[in-house]
């Protein structure tokens, strides 16, 4: 084909741009905003993501929670004691950035404090908290997966930090996650689960999938007896350059590898790459 025929379509914009949207301040304005077509669309997206994490086994019972920032001082979030696989548009709550509930007929999740803290610390506009089993297999043991092995892992979540344990719903756990969220968009919560921050709710769910799939492969690899291998330093630098180009954070103080060991042994160097 003639190169003159090539096209360069833009990326799809999925995020609700709260910076350009209304900022309601009165009861009447809040009620109109909460029922507006634009916000109803975001609520439906949240319900779809709830179904995804439930169908993937990332939540059970009423576990997990979701949030999307929709204003300077406004956040949509899932309610407490609600199965995310069957969550409906009318179940969604609206809170301010202090976690005070403004709209919704159901009580908001107590863990929205974690989401708000992550939004404030790292600048994310959406968060998903859930309990993916392969991630939890690591964090229940106080471990995080090694970096420098797989391009997608290093690009999409880099070196996952482990936030110290805190009782769910408390200011303590929110502060612990906020501190770690500056290091990666995926944070492991010690003895609890994971929380992923992103620019929109679908991207946050993608990061949950990325993290759990990576942990699953590592756990499978632990059983075949052969040593895992890490790519060379220049390849890791290449991963991080791609990550930065995608607008994802990289801690300038982090080492190239978060560990050189896995499953009790020293990992080897990959034959190819740099």
Q: Give the chain's domains with CATH numbers.
A: 12-269 (3.40.225.10)
Determine if the pTM surpasses 0.85. yes
Higher model confidence: residue 273 or residue 66? 66
Of 48, 72, 89, 111, which residue is the catalytic one? 111
Counting residues of the chain whose pLDDT is more than 90, the rounded percentage is 90
Q: What is the pLDDT of residues 167-218, one digit of tens each?
A: 999 999 999 999 999 999 999 999 999 999 999 999 999 999 999 999 999 9
Q: Assess whether 205 carries a catalytic annotation.
A: no
Higher model confidence: residue 30 or residue 13? 30
Give the CA angle between residues 16, 21, 27 to the nearest 5°: 115
Q: What is the pLDDT of residues 4-15, one digit of tens each?
A: 889 898 888 888
What is the pLDDT averaged over residues 16-43? Answer: 96
């Amino acid at each position: 084909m003639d190169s003159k025929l090539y096209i360069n379509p833009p990326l799809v914009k999925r995020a609700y741009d709260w910076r350009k949207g209304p900022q309601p301040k009165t009861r009447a304005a809040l009620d109109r905003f909460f029922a507006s077509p634009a916000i109803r669309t975001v609520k439906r997206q949240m319900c779809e993501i709830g179904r995804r994490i439930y169908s993937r086994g990332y939540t059970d019972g009423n576990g997990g929670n979701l949030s999307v920032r929709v204003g300077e001082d406004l956040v949509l979030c899932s309610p407490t004691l609600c199965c995310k696989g069957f969550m409906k548009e009318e179940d969604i709550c609206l809170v301010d950035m202090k976690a005070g509930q403004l709209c919704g007929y159901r009580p908001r999740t107590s863990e929205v404090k974690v989401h708000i803290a992550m939004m404030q610390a790292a600048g994310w506009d959406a968060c998903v908290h859930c309990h993916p089993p392969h991630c939890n297999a690591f964090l229940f043991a106080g471990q995080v997966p090694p970096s420098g092995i797989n391009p997608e892992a290093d690009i999409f979540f880099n070196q996952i930090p482990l936030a110290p344990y805190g009782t769910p719903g408390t200011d303590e756990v929110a502060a612990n996650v906020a501190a770690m969220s500056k290091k990666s968009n995926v944070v492991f919560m010690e003895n609890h689960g994971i929380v992923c921050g992103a620019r929109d709710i679908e991207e946050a769910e993608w990061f949950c999938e990325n993290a759990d799939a990576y942990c699953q492969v590592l756990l499978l690899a632990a059983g075949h007896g052969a040593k895992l291998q890490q790519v060379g330093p220049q390849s890791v630098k290449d991963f991080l350059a791609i990550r930065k180009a995608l607008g994802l954070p990289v801690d300038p103080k982090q080492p190239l590898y978060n560990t050189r060991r896995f499953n009790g042994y020293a990992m080897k160097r990959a034959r190819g790459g740099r």
